[in-house]
Homo-oligomer: A and B are copies of this chain.
Amino acid sequence: MTKQYHDRALDADTLDQLFNEARSYNGWLDKPVNDEQLHAIWDLMKMAPTSANMQPARVVWVKSDEAKQQLAGLVSEGNKAKVVAAPVTAIIGYDIDFHEELPWLFPHTDAKSWFEGNEKLRQEGAFRNSSLQGAYLMLAARALGLDCGPMSGFDNAAVDKAFFADEPRHRSNFICSIGYGDPASIFDRSPRPDFDTFNRIA
């Protein structure tokens, strides 16, 4: 029997850690992130839902100085210093042929056949669901006491060539630095829209 948590709202401090006080960082404290922490992020994010459990995300965790320099050369000017300074930057990519894995990821039906011969449908599913997984990555990192700095300003094709050279099915979606954020590196909060601005109850 699965555990349920009906009407158990998390306490204010936890909601602050995950949402209300968490910020996107542009600079990082000189404190490393170890491989066990990266495994722990994955072990949480993989539990969250994707369509037909497709799990299209393919992640390269850029951690060595050499890989950071390589990635920094492929991001926009304003992101270079961030990538070099961050303990780790995750390249969140996706497998355009994720359906090849569905026989073991979604074993109870022939979900692979839904996607065969339809790259447009696979592209849409892979992009949507790897984006979901990128969000799960960020919230998992925060849940473990780490900070994030997501970025989409980079040359996707060049990053694919540099980091997915052995995996021509893989394509980058966005990147996200992970570490212990430097509080001096954040800007004022941008405004947040009220419910009525962007929501409607029908």
Residues of A within 8 A of B (CB): 1-10, 14-24, 31, 35, 38-39, 42-49, 51, 53, 55, 57-64, 67, 104-108, 125, 127-129, 131-136, 138-140, 142-148, 150, 152, 163, 173-174, 180-181, 183, 186-187, 190-193, 195, 198-202
C-alpha gap A145/B190 in the complex (Å): 28
Q: A2-B186, A202-B67 are in contact. Are A134 and B136 (CB under 8 A)?
A: no
Q: Are B190 and A105 in contact (CB under 8 A)?
A: yes
Q: Are A9 and B143 in contact (CB under 8 A)?
A: yes
Q: Are B193 and A55 in contact (CB under 8 A)?
A: yes
Q: A3-B16, A132-B135 are in contact. Are A39 and B145 (CB under 8 A)?
A: no
How many copies of this protein are present in the complex? 2
C-alpha gap A73/B102 in the complex (Å): 28
Our pick among B9, B24, B108, B173 for the contact of A144 (Cβ within 8 Å) is B9
Shortest Cβ distance from A43 into B: residue:
B195
Q: Are B17 and A62 in contact (CB under 8 A)?
A: no
C-alpha gap A136/B61 in the complex (Å): 22
C-alpha gap A60/B190 in the complex (Å): 24
Jot down 13 A-B pairs with beta carbons below 8 A, ordered by A.
Answer: A5-B145, A7-B145, A18-B139, A38-B201, A48-B138, A49-B150, A55-B192, A55-B193, A58-B198, A105-B190, A106-B190, A132-B132, A136-B139
Shortest Cβ distance from A198 into B: residue:
B58
Q: Are B107 and A190 in contact (CB under 8 A)?
A: yes
Shortest Cβ distance from A64 into B: residue:
B202
Q: A16-B3, A17-B10 are in contact. Are A61 and B201 (CB under 8 A)?
A: yes
Q: Which B residues lie within 8 Å of A62 (CB)? A: 202
